Chain A
Amino acid sequence: MEYALRMCAITKHFPRVIANDKVDLTLRKGEILALVGENGAGKSTLMNILYGLHTPDSGEIYIHGKKMNYQTTLGAIEQGVGMVHQHFMLIPRLSIVENVVLGNEPGSALRFHRARAKKEVSPFLEQFKLEVSLDTPVQDLSMGMQQKVEIIKVLYRKANILILDEPTAVLTPQEIDELGVILASLKKQGMSIIIITHKLQEVIDFSDRITVMRRGVHIGTVETAGTDVNEIVGMMVGRNVNLGQYDIKGVPDKDVLLSVKDLSYRAGERFILKDINLEVHKGEILGIAGIDGSGQDELTEIINGTIKPTQGEILFADNNVTHRNPLQRRRSGMGFIPQDRLKHGLVSDFSIEENLTLGFERKREYNRKGFINKKNRKALAKAAIARFDIRTTGEEVLAGTLSGGNQQKVIVAREMGARPRIIVANQPTRGVDIGAIAFIHQTLIGLRNEGGGVLLASLELDELMSLSDRIAVMYKGRLMGTLAGRDATREKLGYMMVGRMNDNVHNGENLQTEKGARHEKE
């Protein structure tokens, strides 16, 4: 067997953590290897070492059988290693061609040979079916197109080992399928590819082999053909977790708990949200789907009260709360799980105990004649840590030192502790380990089964489809439509997420012509 790459006993320490502990990894020539593991498993560190961004403390790298000792990205690029990062390494204001050649510009230091650069880059654009001018600034491209530019950037540098870090995180389902086609064609050309991911379905779809890491250690490598999602999950978390199989009881009530009427939100001249109408019933989970930046963040923040809508109103349990502040809304039974837990959910320099009471200091159980009742607070914090399975050494531990999953559990514990009638959650499981995801899902379902409401905005379609009674899809600040949870498929949601109406979903060809016609008009 010919190996394009072998990494042997790679060890890398960071202050206080071992990111990689004697990790081995092999990549065959012309295969797609999936590198999976939870957040903090050490996947990215390993790949950053391969790409020369980090220097390993010990261990060896062999590329095509030759021992490597480069310590910079330039060294890695010279050896044919290319990486497409999760956060694209593109300069938004520079054009496509400038981004592709950055660092390898044709011409001399004092003269950029633009014409030659264009000539060298344009064949790639054709290969990837990118029908835009090479002079287009990258900021005007969709995420899917930007990713293609990233891949072109790597190919331009003549890479034969391609690393993709979470390549599907920002893509729509259709773009993910397209990526699959591209990767297959690159593989045919002899490219060896590593995909870092935590979305397991893609792993099964794309890869030839799967390498699993956990807590900085290589757990095992299996042939994709001989395994299934459950086995991989088991390897990732070290125990059996059932994702997506929840005990959802009964049907939602007729009574409306929260309703949003003709809501619009404008920033300057631009509408971030336009004419949004939706309802959450008692005992219902309403999912909000959409590509990142479709207005979900603003919608959840308006419902929470941290930003004010330009138009429209919000009714909560038959009261108009449009002009109430967040504190008043929370007191009337609205819980909020924000998207960015460190920015809006927790104070990282506060202890778990303090974070658990944040915003509820005046409640009777925490308050004694205007002073904080520390004894009671501590007891309640201990109870919450036990009930919500927060893995920590004690309630005085600073929230900032917890893992993402445990931080999120602190927020969930606080919001649920107030016994809310509705929870508004924006990406509650983003960057959280699988065990915590399952726990958070169960908590939300528990609230639903007891007759509470949940508004769940998420970028993970699997999450939405397994939890929601109904799914509303947003596109560029508008509501494209609402599907019943049992009717929703990735395809239907995907089409609506890029602005196609629901009735066109089954007719792929029509869509193509419609798209063509629109382009001609423009």
Chain B
Amino acid sequence: METMMLLIVVAIRLATPILITATGAMFSERSGVINLGTEGMMLMGSFAAMMASLYSGSAWVGVLAGMTSAMLVALLHGVICIEFGGNQIVSSLGINMFLLGFTSFVIKSMYGTSISVQIPSIQRVPFLEGLPFVGKYLAQLPPLTYIAFLIVPIAYYIMNRTPIGIRIKAVGDDPVTLETAGVNPWRYRYVCLMICGILSGLGGAYMSLGQMNRFVTNMIAGRGYMAIVAVKMGKWQPVGILLTAMLFGFSDAIQLQLQVSQALPIAPELIQAIPYLVGLIILAAFMRSSAAPLALGKAYVKNKHKT
């Protein structure tokens, strides 16, 4: 029982950054913009969160900084792809490479190593400890995890109960139709991409402030890509994404458990690969889905000669 509960807590903790980022990526993809830059945006978020937390002494200032910085990165991606119709995959991969190099360089030049000092963090919710039975487990979850689970119903509401949601679906399937209906399709793409940036930054901040209490070079380690996989497997629906993120969390938790207990005589590197393997299989199975936005990845540029 004790082990089971701990496994669940660990799984939720590990699922959180993927869940937050994937919910953001859902908005971006639903609006028709591919953003593989979630990886770099998370990295930027965790880095900026660490820096702000270090210099301000407040982890919450760090969270804000993480969200803002990643939003600015998303804005850059938006200018390249939405404004000028650049290739969305190339742009976002470029962003990832640049930010990996940039953050690694700054950390190395500050500390001479790839790990930052300890910083103020928010890993627990102590006041929940008073609750009977589950209190001691709930208190072990970072506050950002609770925020993550709050974001899911909000995203669901926006997508299914508001005109904004209808228009997001419309711009992702066919921006021309939205424009002929008198709505500015570019605005919706920008807003969705910014939401993706903000949530990726939050997911990144969770890594350095909620999961740990420091920044480590390349600490995102593919979680940004896992988030994209979660969007596809979750069929671009908030609830589906939640379930997929939990699946990733569990496979990651089991992987950790196997490493610690040394139950299997396998090299730890192979065990570490389990969550990625799960992601790869899922991606192969769900890549071609009819749920995909029809205009995903297709640029729609203002004032182009339309025939």
Contacts and interface: CB of A to CB of B under 8 A. Distances in A.
A44 B306 CA distance: 10
Majority secondary structure, A binding face:
loop
B182 interface: yes
Q: How many A residues touch the partner, as a band?
A: 20 to 34
Interface string A39-62: 000001000100101000000000
7 contacts: A48-B306, A73-B182, A92-B173, A102-B167, A102-B181, A109-B163, A112-B162
B302 to A, nearest CB: 11
A271 B307 CA distance: 34
A516 interface: no
A89 B175 CA distance: 10
A141 interface: no
A270 interface: no
Given A44-B307, A112-B163, A103 B169 contact: no
B164 interface: yes
A237 B164 CA distance: 48
B102 to A, nearest CB: 37
Contacts of A112: 161-163, 165-166
A74 B187 CA distance: 15
Contact of B178 (A44, A93, A103, A110): A103
A353 B176 CA distance: 37
Nearest 5 A/B pairs, CB to CB: A103-B181, A74-B182, A105-B163, A89-B177, A103-B183
A98 B166 contact: yes
A241 interface: no
Contacts of A103: 167, 178, 181-183
B294 A92 contact: yes
B174 A91 contact: yes
Nearest to A100: B181
A272 to B, nearest CB: 17
Given A15-B305, A53-B306, A94-B169, A89 B162 contact: no
A481 B130 CA distance: 79
Contacts of A77: 182
Instruction: Specify which of B161, B166, B169, B176 lies most central, judged by the most chain A CB atoms within 10 Å of its CB.
Output: B166
Contact of A102 (B178, B294, B306, B307): B178
A308 interface: no
B169 A93 contact: yes
B83 interface: no
B108 to A, nearest CB: 46
Interface in B139-171: 161-167, 169-170
A109 B164 contact: yes
Interface centre among B163, B173, B178 (most CB of A within 10 A): B163
A71 B170 CA distance: 22
Nearest to A95: B166
A105 B170 CA distance: 13
A90 to B, nearest CB: 7
Contacts of A85: 180
B203 to A, nearest CB: 25
Interface of B: 161-167, 169-170, 173-174, 176-183, 294, 305-307
Interface string A93-133: 11000100011110101111000000000000000000000
A89 B181 contact: yes
B170 A102 contact: yes
A89 B173 contact: no
Nearest to B176: A89
B182 A83 contact: no
Nearest to A113: B163
Contacts of B169: 91, 93-94
Nearest to A85: B180
B282 to A, nearest CB: 21
A371 interface: no
Contacts of B164: 109-110
Contacts of A51: 180
B166 A102 contact: yes
B292 to A, nearest CB: 11
A2 B20 CA distance: 60
Nearest to A51: B180
B161 A53 contact: no
Nearest to B180: A89
Contacts of A110: 162, 164
A219 B242 CA distance: 62
A190 B23 CA distance: 49
Contacts of A109: 162-164
Interface string A14-33: 11000000000000000000
A104 B183 CA distance: 9
Contacts of A310: none
Nearest to A82: B180
A72 interface: yes
Given A91-B169, A91-B173, A94-B170, A83 B180 contact: yes
B306 A91 contact: no
Contacts of B306: 48, 53
A72 B173 contact: no
Given A44-B307, A89-B181, A107 B173 contact: no
B90 to A, nearest CB: 23
Contacts of B178: 102-103
A48 B307 CA distance: 10
A77 B183 CA distance: 11
Most A CB contacts (10 A, CB to CB) among B169, B170, B182 go to: B182
Contacts of A105: 163, 166
Contacts of B307: 44
A73 B178 CA distance: 10
B281 to A, nearest CB: 21
A107 B163 CA distance: 8
Contacts of B167: 102-103
Nearest to A92: B173
A390 B6 CA distance: 77
B179 A73 contact: yes
A429 to B, nearest CB: 19
Nearest to B181: A103
A102 to B, nearest CB: 5
A107 B162 CA distance: 9
A104 B174 CA distance: 17
B181 to A, nearest CB: 3
A153 B306 CA distance: 22
A53 B176 CA distance: 10
B163 A94 contact: no
Given A14-B305, A98-B166, 9 more contacts: A15-B305, A83-B180, A89-B181, A94-B173, A102-B167, A102-B170, A102-B178, A103-B182, A111-B162
Given A91-B173, A91-B174, A93-B173, A72 B163 contact: no
Contacts of B173: 91-94
A32 B176 CA distance: 27
Nearest to A90: B177
B24 to A, nearest CB: 19
A89 B176 CA distance: 7
Interface string A57-85: 00000000000000011100100000101
A74 B179 CA distance: 9
A91 B182 contact: no
A48 B306 CA distance: 10
A71 to B, nearest CB: 11
Contacts of B166: 94, 98, 102, 105, 112
